[in-house]
């Protein structure tokens, strides 16, 4: 049993739209609660579909895409999620409200790093003959991820007063 490639891509688009709505909602105090709900819903969709696609596999037009990992894949994914959740909760409890901008900048740098690593990994995949537009998408994703990574690290250093702007 495999999950449809079209369903996976559609779920990612829906999750992406929910993330955009989350950012929009978080821009105002009055809509922040709804923005958080959109973000939670988007992440729940993205995580569920990613875990399903990794463990049971994907197919497009009756052709298997990649290999399903089954329980072995789940054995890698779940501990990573637990470690990340424990680290995130521990850090969030220790941070003072006045240090929140630095925390957000540092965590945002991990988002950029993840984008770079996912794109880099995708460029090594040879099992599927992707169209050339995939290479362009990977390049743009890695580029934006790298800019996000470096920009967020600079923002963290400036917000935490560890770096000053040149005079």
Ordered by start, the domain boundaries in the chain are: 1-93, 95-167
pLDDT at 97: 83
Q: What's the CA gap between 49 and 96, in Å, rounded?
A: 34
pLDDT at 133: 79
Could you give the angle at the alpha carbon of 90 between the alpha carbons of 12 and 28, nearest 5°? 55
pLDDT at 125: 67
pTM: 0.64
pLDDT at 137: 82
- String of DSSP letters for 72-113: HHHHHHHHHHHHHHHHHHHHHHH--GGGHHHHHHHHHHHHHH
pLDDT 10s digit of each residue in the chain, 167 long?
677 778 888 899 999 999 999 988 888 889 999 999 999 999 999 989 888 887 887 676 666 666 666 777 778 888 988 998 999 889 888 888 888 888 888 888 888 898 899 888 877 766 666 677 777 888 888 999 999 999 999 988 888 887 666 66
């Amino acid at each position: 049993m495999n999950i449809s490639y079209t369903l996976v891509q559609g779920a990612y688009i829906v999750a992406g739209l929910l993330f955009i709505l989350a950012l929009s909602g978080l821009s105002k105090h009055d809509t922040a609660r709804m923005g958080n709900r959109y973000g939670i819903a988007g992440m729940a969709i993205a995580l569920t579909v990613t875990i399903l696609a990794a463990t049971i596999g994907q197919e497009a037009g009756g052709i298997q895409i990649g290999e399903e990992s089954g329980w072995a894949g789940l054995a890698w994914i779940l501990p990573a999620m637990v470690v990340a959740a424990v680290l995130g909760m521990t850090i969030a409890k220790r941070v003072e409200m006045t240090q929140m901008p630095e925390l957000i900048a540092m965590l945002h740098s991990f988002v950029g790093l993840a984008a770079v690593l996912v794109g880099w990994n995708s460029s090594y995949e040879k099992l599927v003959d992707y169209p050339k537009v995939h290479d362009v998408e990977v390049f743009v994703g890695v580029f934006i991820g790298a800019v996000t990574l470096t920009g967020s690290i600079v923002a963290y250093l400036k917000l935490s007063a560890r770096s000053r702007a040149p005079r």
